[in-house]
Structure 1
Amino acid sequence: MSTQSSYEYPALVSYEPNPKPVWKLEKVKIPPKAPGDHQVKVRLVATGICHSDIIVGSVPGNAGPGFSYPRILGHEGVGIVEEVGSGVTTTKVGDKVILSYNYCGNCDLCRDNKQPYCLQWVALNIVGKPGLFEDAKSGETVTGGFFGQSSFAGASIVSETSVVNVTNLIENDNELRLFAPLGCGVMTGSGAVLNGAEAKTHDIVMVTGLGGVGLGAVMAAKIAGCREVIAVDRIASRLDLARQLGATKVIDTSAAGEKGDLVGEAARVVNGQRISIVIETTGAVPVIEACMKAMGKRGRHLQLGVPPPGTEFQFPLSTFFSDNKRFECHYLGETTGQEQIPKMIEWYRDGKLPLEKFVKFFPASDAMAAMQSMQDGSSIKAVIVW
């Protein structure tokens, strides 16, 4: 533990949206105090951009108590430990770490190994904490603590629960940067298939939306040896990549218009066989409704994509009941970074998780272009390098 003076760091600071996110590359300070109990100071070397950063950065500042701008988002950070607070046992200065979400560890859900559903999850991961950063010029408080990390900064004070020590698991710094998406997107998709749905070899899995989360699900379904893996998207290049990563069938929803006949196409590509698992990552109501219809009896629909506030969808309760279909909302792969990240690194070593096929690196100065590339489909997983 040390008490070094305050340093300035580059940061991607989020301001009131208009209505899209407004991110500005500026200088911030971390106040001159050592990390607190069970906290770690990490110098970030890279961070993935997740659609959750875009969604939260689009929320007005008056959305709820404690939610305010300016703030620093980012939650797929990787870096090197610079300082540790008292009580920290999982890492030391100089260790290389991958960051994930925060959880209290004390509520009944955390004690039941359901940390993604922690009763304090919103307070610890979304609302954030004022005073963790200061504007380097004005001294104005900048809110941090997003997902326990706020990795859109060159350095951050991080909750120990967000830290995964990978010092002995990686080979070089380039590999560390490549692993940034493991902290959220790829963990969410792969964990949904293997931990949430507990997919088996007899299952037919349909994955809608082929971003980092969806492709994580496709690769996990292949790892599980599922009988069929149906990949659904409207961007041809993503469908081609999904085939390379394990999809046995693909459906291009652009071919039949915006809504398309996803129900009919899904039945056609599997010759009427029962689709037993749906991993839905788009959050789009027409896709959700189509998936519920396409899914077979006793099927499980895992909703990963976040719909806009106020969104509703319709499905006949009589059909829902008679076919025993299940609709579930799943967070973060039903696991923790400490549990899932070492497994994913092992899959990468075995060639089962070829992240290099869909990760694209951007300098921090091009962060807005990186965000736009994810929205227009020209990149799948953008990673900012500090």
Structure 2
Amino acid sequence: MNGSTSSVSARAIVAREPVQGKPDWKLEDVTLRQLESNELLIRIVATGVCHTDLLFALMPPEAGPYPKVLGHEGAGYVQEIGSKVQNATVGDAVLLSFQFCSTCKNCKQNHPAYCQKFEELNYSGDPEVFHVADGSKSSGSFFGQSSFSSFAIVKDSSTIKVTDLIKNEEELKLFAPLGCGFQTGVGTVDQLAAAGSQDTVVIMGLGGVGLTAVMAAKMKECAIVIGIDRVPERLKIAKMCGATHTINTSDSELDLEEVVKALTGGNGPTITVDTTGNVNLIRMGVDFTANRGQMILLGVAPMDASLDVPLVKFMQTGKQLRGSIEGDTAPSEVEEFQTAITEMHTGVAIKPVLIW
């Protein structure tokens, strides 16, 4: 029934305009506007924290209005549905992912991550989804969900019904990161790169996305799987997840290209995946990737970053430089969210998940 959500109250992490280059987050009381016909009201039980959320909390106001509620790895239960929603009913357990138009060529060919309206639908948001206690309105619908909130208004294309797959609420909480980070790592290795037993794989950056990429490479029985990071704890976990080798980049004397080449029989990896967005690492990755190999970019580099590629040499190597969104797939306590965000930056937390 449309109209009743105007009185729904929630607690949400509201991002306001950055202060001296740092995000300004605050847990606040909010109310939600009414549902539209293609939307659902979701009681959020857990939300994964992704670097994309941190990036958009630092964007200048012209890139998207403040205040705003971010979050795009939500999991929860349907409380109410709009009149045109058909993919879930009240009471269903759902995972939340990105939004897509369903009508463009890529969507019709089952590549919704490359929807022609991806940026418009997922980044811009709706400027009046939340009403904040001070009387101001807060932007929502980030990635069709804005799930840094105990209740969220979610677009139907962002909703994946998992009622028959989830045993209970505690299990649903564990799967919250599947909506973005996990599907990105697995999808990139499995679908986009089409990795197999003949491949040697390097994963640069071992956060949630990188570690799921390691697991995917292991499941695809890749011959060599090398995890690269500067945090010892992550390197240990990568070995547990299936990495055959790990490299610690905190060593200032390290010649990364030389080590990677040595571990891959002098050829370099056939698949290199970067999750860091670090331009220096990306440049090295392009260099040490094997001839005819794939260099795949997952990490978000600075907006003004660029890469100089010697065109003749690049042509002669037959390498591919590819970008990946959501892996080309079809889709701790809330009060401690500041700790989760801090530990994500330092590497202490592999994949922070906020529990509502």
Same fold by TM-score, threshold 0.5 exceeded?
yes
| Residue type of the alignment partner of 1:15 | R
- Structure 1 residue 255: deviation in Å? 1.8
The reply to whether residue 144 of structure 1 matches residue 140 of structure 2 is yes
User: Aligned letter for 2:352?
Assistant: A
* Residue 189 (structure 2) pairs with residue 189 (structure 1): no
The DSSP-based 3-state class of the residue aligned with 2:7 is: coil
Alignment coverage as a number of residue pairs: 354
Question: How far does the alpha carbon of each residue in 1:110-144 deviate from its partner, in whole angstroms, 9 at most, with x for none?
Answer: 11222111111111101101111111x23311100
Equivalent residues in 2 for 1:140-289, closer than 5 Å: 140-256=136-252, 260-289=254-283
Answer yes or no: is 1:125 the counterpart of 2:122: yes
**Alignment partner, residue 91 of structure 1:** 88
Q: CA separation in 1, counterparts of 2:13 and 2:165?
A: 29
For the residue of structure 2 that corresponds to 1:89, the secondary structure is coil
* Percent identity of equivalent pairs: 41
How far the C-alpha of 1:172 sits from its partner, in A, is 1.4
Distance across 2 between alignment mates of 1:111 and 1:139 = 41
Letter in 2 for 1:24: K
TM-score for the superposition, normalised by structure 2: 0.97
Q: Which amino acid aligns with 1:162?
A: S
Q: Does 1:317 align with 2:311?
A: yes
Cα distance in 2 between the residues matched to 1:166 and 1:114: 21
Structure 1 equivalent of residue 28 of structure 2: 26
Q: Is the 8 A contact 2:39 2:81 kept in 1?
A: yes
Two-structure CA RMSD over aligned residues (Å): 1.2
Cα-to-partner distance string for 1:146-189 (whole Å, 9 max, x where unaligned): 00000001111111111111111011111111111100001101
2:111 maps to 1:114: yes
Cα distance in structure 2, aligned partners of 1:303 and 1:29: 38
Structure 2 distance, partners of 1:162, 1:118, is: 13
Give the counterpart letter for 2:198 in structure 1.
Answer: H
Query: Counterpart in 2 of 1:355?
Result: none
Which of these residues, 334, 353, 356, is aligned with residue 328 of structure 2?
334
Q: Measure, in 2, the Cα distance between the counterparts of 1:313 and 1:300.
A: 16
1:10-25 paired onto structure 2 within 5 Å: 10-18=11-19, 19-25=21-27
Q: CA deviation at 1:243?
A: 0.6
After TM superposition, the score normalised by the length of structure 1 is 0.90
Q: Say which of 357, 370, 380 aligns to 2:340.
A: 370
Match of 1:202, as an amino acid?
Q
Which AA in structure 2 matches 1:26?
E
Q: CA deviation at 1:324?
A: 0.7
**How many angstroms apart in 2 are the aligned matches of 1:9 and 1:225?**
45
The aligned amino acid for 2:29 is: K
Cα distance, 1:315 vs structure 2: 3.0
Note if 1:44 corresponds to 2:56. Answer: no
Gaps of 5+ in 1: 338-361
- Return the alpha-carbon distance in structure 1 between the equivalents of residues 342 and 68 of structure 2: 20
The CA distance in 1 between the partners of 2:233 and 2:3, in whole Å, is 50
Q: Counterpart in 2 of 1:343?
A: none
Whole-Å Cα distance in 2 between the matches of residues 325 and 378 of structure 1? 35
How big is the shift at 1:76? 0.4
* Separation (CA, whole Å) in 2 of partners of 1:21 and 1:163: 28
CA positional deviation for 1:274: 4.1
SS at match of 2:166: coil
Give the match's secondary structure for 2:25: strand
Matched, 1:291 2:292: no
Gaps of 5+ in 2: none
Deviation sequence 1:26-83 (CA, Å, 0-9, x none): 001012x3x22221110111101000000111111123xxx10000000000001000
